[in-house]
Amino acid sequence: MGKITVETCDIEGLKIITPTVFGDERGYFMETYNYNDYKAAGIDMEFVQDNQSASKKGVLRGLHFQINYPQDKLVRVVSGEVFDVAVDLRPGSKTYGKWFGVLLSAENKKQFFIPKNFAHGFIVLSDYAEFAYKCTDFYHPNDEGGLAWNDPDIGVEWPIPEGMELTISEKDQKWGGIKELKK
């Protein structure tokens, strides 16, 4: 029965989904995924792996993608708040290299659908955040690619509050810029 509302943006393929939330005196219920509703919204893929990660304030994970086993991702925040970013790396896309970001939170319950061949990452704005997402291909550890979160040629406007200390993994500190990727 769950109905979803779908928003799009100027990068074709990206979708922001808001599920129907059924609140009552106990709390709330919502369907976080329903094949039929999402298929009707053009998300008609088989999700084969669910992931969850937890991060403290200022953690920035990304910008990641898998090279030969690209994954569509349906991402959401279970607790806390993040700014979530996707960068278009689809070969031949008219928005190649363009980024889009959206605030995802336990509060707004929004989900972000990111098709294959986008780089993906997020920064945690709350004290703590739990991030859960569905993927349409499995993890291939030797197939990881990445982009520098602060690549000036992408120009992501991360909403980093004054004085926020960033925590970025060694691996994520080493990625190069989009100009170093072969298209």
Ligand X SMILES: Cc1cn([C@H]2C[C@H](O)[C@@H](COP(=O)(O)OP(=O)(O)O[C@H]3O[C@H](C)C(=O)[C@H](O)[C@H]3O)O2)c(=O)[nH]c1=O
Residue type, 111: Q
Residue type, 147: L
Which chain residues interact with ligand X by CB under 6 A? 51, 53, 61-62, 64, 120-122, 139, 169
H runs (alpha helix) in 5-135? 35-40
C-beta closer to ligand X: residue 8 or 51:
51
Q: Least separation, in Å, of the C-beta of 166 and ligand X? A: 14
Please tell me the distance from the alpha carbon of residue 133 to that of residue 45, in angstroms, as a whole number. Answer: 14
Is 33 marked active-site? no
C-beta closer to ligand X: residue 69 or 96:
69
Please tell me the distance from the alpha carbon of residue 150 to that of residue 138, in angstroms, as a whole number. Answer: 27
Q: Least separation, in Å, of the C-beta of 27 and ligand X? A: 28
- Residue facing ligand X at closest CB distance: 139
Two structure tokens written together for 38: 């999402």
Is 140 marked active-site? no
Please tell me the distance from the alpha carbon of residue 122 to that of residue 94, in angstroms, as a whole number. Answer: 24
Helices vs. strands in the chain: H and E counts, helices first: 2, 13
Q: Least separation, in Å, of the C-beta of 95 and ligand X? A: 19
Structure letter (DSSP) for residue 30: -
C-beta closer to ligand X: residue 169 or 173:
169
C-beta closer to ligand X: residue 17 or 85:
85
Among the options 64, 96, 128, 139, which is catalytic? 64
Q: Least separation, in Å, of the C-beta of 1 and ligand X? A: 30
Among the options 38, 69, 96, 133, which is catalytic? 133
Cβ neighbours, 10 Å, residue 175? 21
Active site residues: 64, 133
